[in-house]
């Protein structure tokens, strides 16, 4: 049976509510984690992320300065920080469909609606550690693969079939120049 060695994971908890930070720290220590860092707003969170380079980020949605959604988008900017692929678990009191989709589209890895439980948080952490998803980069999105399941009823083009055969090849500039000359 697979288990998670929490002792080898470094967490960053970003939440403006001190009570919630204390609860999360308690749960993480309970699982067996030793390294838990905290920040109380989005700006401090980004700074802590850069400084501590955590393995997993737990972030609240509603925070001062910039919120969890904006923070996620900043972390997911390729080239802007050390690890744009870091798993981000969003913990929030929001549970509406629109909010969940917004979080997903910002690049959140897992979403956990409050109230949190030891079991639910463990399951999210287990998922990001044991079953990491590939990342997708498009013109408008960079983040974990938003397809979690294979839908047998899906109707439409399969854009990931055929591998390199689907690549739109650009004619090299040198060849274009040769044609023109």
Q: What is the size of the binding site for other proteins (CB under 8 A)?
A: 69
Tokens found for residue 100: 């969940």
Among the candidate windows 12-20, 39-47, 66-74, 173-181, which touches other proteins by CB under 8 A?
12-20
Closest distance of CB 7 from other proteins, Å: 8
Annotate 136-161 with b (16+ C-beta within 10 A) or e (fewer): eeeeeebbbeeeeeeeeeeeeeeeee
Is residue 163 at the binding interface for other proteins, with CB under 8 A as the rule? Answer: yes
**Which 23-42 residues touch other proteins, going by CB under 8 A?**
23, 26-32
Which of 49, 53, 72, 171 binds other proteins (CB under 8 A)? It is 53
Closest distance of CB 129 from other proteins, Å: 5
Is residue 152 at the binding interface for other proteins, with CB under 8 A as the rule? Answer: no
Where is 159: in which H helix or E strand?
none
Mention every residue, 6+ apart, whose C-beta is less than 8 A from residue 103: 61, 69, 72, 90, 92, 111
Q: What is the DSSP string of 89-122?
A: EEEES---HHHHHHHHHHT-SEEEESSP-HHHHH
Query: How far is it, in rounded angstroms, from Cα 178 to Cα 181?
Result: 5
Is residue 148 at the binding interface for other proteins, with CB under 8 A as the rule? Answer: no
Smaller CB separation from other proteins, 27 or 74: 27
Q: Largest Cα–Cα distance of the chain, in whole Å?
A: 71
Closest distance of CB 30 from other proteins, Å: 3
Smaller CB separation from other proteins, 74 or 86: 86
List residues binding other proteins (CB under 8 A).
Answer: 1-6, 8-9, 17, 19-20, 22-23, 26-32, 51-53, 55-56, 62, 82-83, 85, 87, 92-101, 111-116, 118-122, 128-130, 132, 134-139, 145, 159-160, 163-164, 166-168
């Amino acid at each position: 049976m697979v288990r998670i060695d929490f002792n080898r994971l470094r967490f960053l908890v970003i939440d403006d509510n001190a009570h919630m930070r204390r609860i999360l720290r308690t749960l993480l220590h309970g699982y067996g984690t030793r390294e838990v860092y905290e920040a109380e707003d989005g700006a401090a969170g980004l700074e802590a992320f850069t400084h501590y380079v955590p393995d997993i980020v737990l972030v609240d949605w509603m925070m001062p300065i910039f919120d969890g959604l904006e923070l996620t988008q900043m972390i997911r900017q390729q080239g802007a920080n050390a690890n744009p692929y870091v798993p981000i678990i969003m913990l929030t009191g929001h549970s509406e469909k629109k909010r969940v989709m917004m979080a997903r589209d910002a690049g959140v890895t897992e979403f956990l609606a409050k109230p949190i439980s030891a079991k639910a948080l463990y399951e999210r952490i287990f998922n990001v550690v044991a079953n990491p998803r590939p990342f997708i980069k498009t013109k408008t999105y960079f983040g974990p693969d938003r397809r979690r399941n294979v839908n047998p009823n899906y109707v439409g083009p399969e854009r990931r079939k055929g591998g390199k055969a689907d690549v739109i090849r650009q004619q090299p500039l040198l060849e274009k120049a040769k044609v023109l000359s």
